[in-house]
A and B are shown apart, each in its own frame.
Chain A
Amino acid sequence: SYELTQPPSVSVDPGQTARITCSGDALPQKYVYWYQQKSGQAPVLVIYEDTKRPSGIPERFSGSSSGTTATLTLSGAQVEDEGDYYCYSPDSSGNFWVFGGGSKLTVL
């Protein structure tokens, strides 16, 4: 079955840039979506269709995708950005969707 691979954890100092990667064989053909989830809360979409930011999401969140790897970038990470981040994308058929295993972001 299709899989998306993320690093389990990412740490960054406040004000620095954090990058979370997501790897999958179908990413050259399929969009990636990124979610932020804080403890006890429902996930929130922070990036859709690889690079687009929903209204209300701070500009420090950005996304990119190249080949089989997509990247979520937080430019100037803040303590409030701590949480779990998940990438989400379908397999090559477009019918079966998967989440990456999640990356825990710590802003020290």
Chain B
Amino acid sequence: EVVVVESGGDSVKSGGSLRLSCVASEIIVADTWMSWVRQAPGKGLEWIGRIQPESDGGATHYGAPVKDRFIISRDDSKNTLYLHMTSLKTEDTGVYYCTVGADKWGQGTQVTVSS
């Protein structure tokens, strides 16, 4: 069974940076579509972005609220997906989920941005 685990969530000040990590058992990160999704307190799900498999070119795409501030990357040697977040805003507060394809989700990691 594939298990997805996110880590790296923390409390940071507005304007700060944070890097989230995602590992998935029994999955080669470079070979599959992977995405980041977040959920603000009491709100709905929001797509952050995704990265294509290397076989499809490895391109990344981002949602408008995070474009130019967040970057999705992979470290194939560690079989790990990352979400690099910069210029954080209070509205970035929420639970951040890593997804493998459409069906495998982690339990999420909490990011809190304070002013």
With A42-B108, A54-B103 in contact, is A96–B63 under 8 Å at CB? yes
> Chain B nearest CB: distance from A48 CB in Å?
6
A35 sits at the interface (CB 8 A): yes
Judge whether A1 and B64 touch: CB under 8 Å. Answer: yes
- Using CB atoms, name the residue of chain B closest to A94: B61
**A79 in contact (CB, < 8 A):** no
Given A102-B44, A102-B45, A42 and B102 contact (CB-CB distance below 8 Å): no
For B, the interface residue count at a CB cutoff of 8 angstroms equals 17
Choose among B47, B64, B103 the residue that contacts A97 (Cβ–Cβ < 8 A): B47
> Would A97 and B108 be within 8 Å (CB), given that A54-B103, A86-B44 are in contact?
no
> Among residues 35 to 83 in chain B, which have CB atoms less than 8 Å away from a CB atom of chain A?
35, 37, 44-47, 50, 61, 63-64
Give residues in B with beta carbon < 8 Å to A: 35, 37, 44-47, 50, 61, 63-64, 97, 102-103, 105-108
Q: Which residues of A contact B (CB under 8 A)?
A: 1, 33, 35, 37, 42-45, 48, 54, 84, 86, 88, 95-102
